[in-house]
Chains A and B, each alone.
Chain A
Amino acid sequence: MKHRRVILIMALFALISVLPAAAGGRNENTVGAETRQGEGVQEKNFVELRLDYCRYNNQLLENIIQKFNITGGNIKIIPNKYESLDDQTQSRRLTEILSGDGPDLLTEIYYDRLLNNHKAVTSGVYYDMSDYFDNDKEIAEMDFFYPVIDNGVYDGKRLFITYLFKVPGVVTSLEIIKKYNVPISEELWSWEQMQDIVDWYLKSDKKDEVFLFDYYFNRLISSSFYDKYIDYDKQETMFDSMESLEYLKFIKRIQPLARPFDMDERHSIWLYITEERSLFSGFPQVAGVRWQQVIHDLSKKDGYSIDILPIPVPGEEKKFLYVPDETIGISSSCKNKEAAFAFIKYLLRTDVFGNPDYNSLTDIPVNRAAYRILTDHQQKDRIRLTPLPDRLLEKEEEILDNLAPLPIFDRQAALLIRKYAQQYFDGEISVDEAVKSMKDAVDLYLGE
């Protein structure tokens, strides 16, 4: 009898241990129509959607969510702020997403993406929102920056949308250009024209006086284009193509021409411009209202005639690099996808970012009309700011009209490629060995 009791207790213990795992307990706050009851609050049916975002996303998203929750009818976004991007947090988030218990809306920051490779993105984590996007009349009338709006389209499926982006580039001043007789036209440069400047610099005696580039520019140029040589559809790599070889050789050539990283200076372009530390200095943005303010300040304080140049894309005739900074997509396990898309649509609306409250926005909204409102407001704010010269406004417009389709973002492939590229830059292996190793490694990755 005693035995039986003990066995029964042990069996119950075992059952209790197994059941939660077997049930795969779903987070009840995630989705679904729920009734919100509170002190004195009238009962109302809400569709609650969970959205996770990192505190590094600043207050922007939080403000937008607050506004949406007031005006969004029966849809309520439940923001869930996580504090850090450390491995433990990311691992927990990933587990939640894969088990179907993750957020309904997946937001990502470009440089710290959780779903950071092509395979993860296309694994089925994201819901294909093409039908919602393509058949929405309001969206059809919106004016977007292309190809930024299509950045999250993989194999015909619209998996995520980039709602904010950056255009990195270089800054210089007309004074520096004149002083050092840099043979550069007033137009935006192509990849070949940039190479010509490098050739000029190497032949000139200027290299004893001033660096050509800086660390940040070097990093942008060295890391932005490797993915161009991967064809995900055919599962092939083209690292042994002439263009790829030339690209690698060029990057190796410019390594010693860039001023090394200095922790104290970061992106303080005042130092670069006023102290002439390099002829061209990389900067995270050469477009956008925040950038315009920087130029206003520079021109106003020091009287410098700032010039901007984007990052040209190799193999393209005057196409320029952009970075999709913040993206949003619908989780495939979201129960109310229509409501989730309503929030994404809200993020794309002209009046959301086209609001003078965002006159210090670091990024550029993907809605072109919204950006125009911000720029116009900035130009009219003459009391606080000096108007931007027309030549810079025209340049910015031209850059934004000629953004290159971004190669598929794939951190894993990039890591493999950079490993061998670095060995080549350091002189450990030849360019042919580097290319072969890149091909072998990325082919393995693609074939998995």
Chain B
Amino acid sequence: MKPRTKEAVSALFFILPSLTGFIILFAFPFIKSIGYCFTTGVGRLHYAGFSNFTGLFSSSSYILAVKNTIRFNIIAVPLIMLIPFFLALMLVRPFKGRSFFHTIFIIPLVIPVASVVKVWDIAFRNDGAINKIFLALDIPTVAWMESSASVLVLVLLYLWKNIGYNVILFQAGLAGIAKEYYEAARIDGAGRIRCLTSVTIPMIKPAAFFVFIISIINAFKVFREAYVLEGRYPDKNIYLLQHFMNNNFINLNYQRLSTAALVMFLVIYLLVFLLFRVEKSFDGT
């Protein structure tokens, strides 16, 4: 056996346990769920052509879920990129109490979702703390979770929960930028803003790209908080794709669930593919 083949075989041997798990728990169910997209019935399945896809795209709840998910991403992802970036810029320099701020940002990551959501529920329900403050200040109260304000609550919850993680990632990225670049820029007469735009931002792009991908993934995960906060059928403004899929699972509509999951997979795959292409083109310049 050639040394390279030997190496490949050894590598395969080491990844086999994980590969087996992947095949059983991910690959096989995924292939089976693709099969569901083109069938109808329970137990015994019948070929259904593309009817599951036409049914999905004519579902008013699916369209609403797609719109809400896109809207949430458009609002929340730029915020979860910008705020942690500037916080990381502040925290990258040593100052007294820096570790305290680190702790503050990390805490939301380690608190269990259920208890986090309970606190938010106490704050934002109709007779909650925020409305009580509004009442005391003679400001009209808001039905936070039963109006378009629910989007704001969910965005805030998403930011609060995920800022710390992104701060760490940005800090790691900033720490990787060599001081020499800044020194050279200052010698050339660059001020703080110029250093930021001409050194920090171009150099942090790989880390920012990673943060962007992670933020999109976390934006999809916000369903967990929305679900614990408002259940299977929340206000229609925060009814997300995962609500749609979760509910179809419970309602036994596996065909529609699989179809929605496949469409989502294809869209995310395309998005990530495009992002990698964009990143590559940046690298080229």
Which A residues fall within an 8 A CB radius of B? 3, 6-7, 10-11, 13-14, 17-18, 21-22, 94, 97-102, 115, 117, 119-120, 123-125, 331-333, 412, 416, 428-429, 433, 437, 440-441, 443-448
On whether A6 and B13 interact (CB within 8 A), knowing A14-B23, A22-B28, A98-B252, the answer reads yes
**Set of chain A residues within 8 Å of B20, measured between Cβ atoms:** 13-14, 17-18
Q: Are B42 and A440 in contact (CB under 8 A)?
A: no
What are 18 sample pairs from A and B whose C-beta atoms fall under 8 A apart?
Answer: A3-B13, A7-B9, A7-B13, A17-B24, A18-B28, A21-B28, A100-B42, A100-B44, A101-B43, A117-B251, A332-B44, A412-B250, A440-B236, A444-B236, A444-B239, A447-B59, A447-B60, A448-B253
**Set of chain A residues within 8 Å of B60, measured between Cβ atoms:** 443, 447
**Set of chain A residues within 8 Å of B236, measured between Cβ atoms:** 440, 444
| B83 CB-CB contact with A under 8 Å | no
Of B16, B43, B126, B146, the residue contacting A98 (CB under 8 A) is B43
Of A11, A120, A445, the residue contacting B252 (CB under 8 A) is A120
Beta-carbon contacts of B215-251 to A below 8 Å, as 1s and 0s?
0000000000000000001011001000010011011
On whether A14 and B16 interact (CB within 8 A), knowing A123-B252, A332-B43, A447-B64, the answer reads yes
On whether A98 and B254 interact (CB within 8 A), knowing A14-B23, A333-B42, the answer reads yes
Report the separation of the CA atoms of residues A426 and B203 in the bound assembly, to the nearest whole angstrom.
58
CB distance from B96 to the nearest CB of A (A): 48
Residue of B at shortest CB range from A235?
B60
Report the separation of the CA atoms of residues A164 and B42 in the bound assembly, to the nearest whole angstrom.
27
**Set of chain A residues within 8 Å of B235, measured between Cβ atoms:** 440
| B200 CB-CB contact with A under 8 Å | no
Which B residues fall within an 8 A CB radius of A? 1, 6, 9-10, 12-13, 16, 19-20, 23-24, 28, 40-44, 59-62, 64, 126-127, 146, 233, 235-236, 239, 244, 247-248, 250-254, 256
8 tightest CB-CB pairs across the interface, nearest first? Answer: A100-B43, A333-B43, A447-B61, A447-B60, A119-B251, A123-B252, A124-B42, A14-B20
Q: Are A444 and B64 in contact (CB under 8 A)?
A: yes
**Set of chain A residues within 8 Å of B127, measured between Cβ atoms:** 428
Q: Are A21 and B13 in contact (CB under 8 A)?
A: no
Report the separation of the CA atoms of residues A332 and B28 in the bound assembly, to the nearest whole angstrom.
25
Report the separation of the CA atoms of residues A14 and B42 in the bound assembly, to the nearest whole angstrom.
29
Chain A binding site: helix, strand, loop or mixed by DSSP?
helix
Residue of B6, B10, B16, B42 with highest tally of chain A CB at under 10 A? B42
CB distance from B4 to the nearest CB of A (A): 14
Q: Are A448 and B43 in contact (CB under 8 A)?
A: no
Q: Are A123 and B251 in contact (CB under 8 A)?
A: yes
Report the separation of the CA atoms of residues A429 and B248 in the bound assembly, to the nearest whole angstrom.
29
**Set of chain A residues within 8 Å of B239, measured between Cβ atoms:** 444
Q: Are A448 and B61 in contact (CB under 8 A)?
A: yes
Q: Are A445 and B233 in contact (CB under 8 A)?
A: yes
CB distance from A76 to the nearest CB of B (A): 22
**Set of chain A residues within 8 Å of B40, measured between Cβ atoms:** 124
Residue of B at shortest CB range from A99?
B43
CB distance from B237 to the nearest CB of A (A): 10
Residue of A at shortest CB range from B58?
A447
**Set of chain B residues within 8 Å of A446, measured between Cβ atoms:** 61
**Set of chain A residues within 8 Å of B254, measured between Cβ atoms:** 98
Q: Are A119 and B44 in contact (CB under 8 A)?
A: no
CB distance from A19 to the nearest CB of B (A): 10
Report the separation of the CA atoms of residues A448 and B13 in the bound assembly, to the nearest whole angstrom.
45
Report the separation of the CA atoms of residues A242 and B239 in the bound assembly, to the nearest whole angstrom.
28
Report the separation of the CA atoms of residues A324 and B119 in the bound assembly, to the nearest whole angstrom.
42
Residue of A at shortest CB range from B10?
A3
**Set of chain B residues within 8 Å of A448, measured between Cβ atoms:** 59, 61-62, 244, 247-248, 251, 253, 256
Q: Are A444 and B43 in contact (CB under 8 A)?
A: no
**Set of chain B residues within 8 Å of A18, measured between Cβ atoms:** 20, 23-24, 28
**Set of chain A residues within 8 Å of B10, measured between Cβ atoms:** 3
CB distance from B103 to the nearest CB of A (A): 38
**Set of chain B residues within 8 Å of A440, measured between Cβ atoms:** 235-236
**Set of chain B residues within 8 Å of A101, measured between Cβ atoms:** 43
Known: A3-B10, A123-B253, A332-B43. 12 other contacts (CB 8 A): A7-B13, A14-B23, A97-B42, A98-B42, A98-B43, A98-B252, A99-B43, A115-B252, A332-B42, A333-B43, A448-B247, A448-B253
CB distance from A96 to the nearest CB of B (A): 10
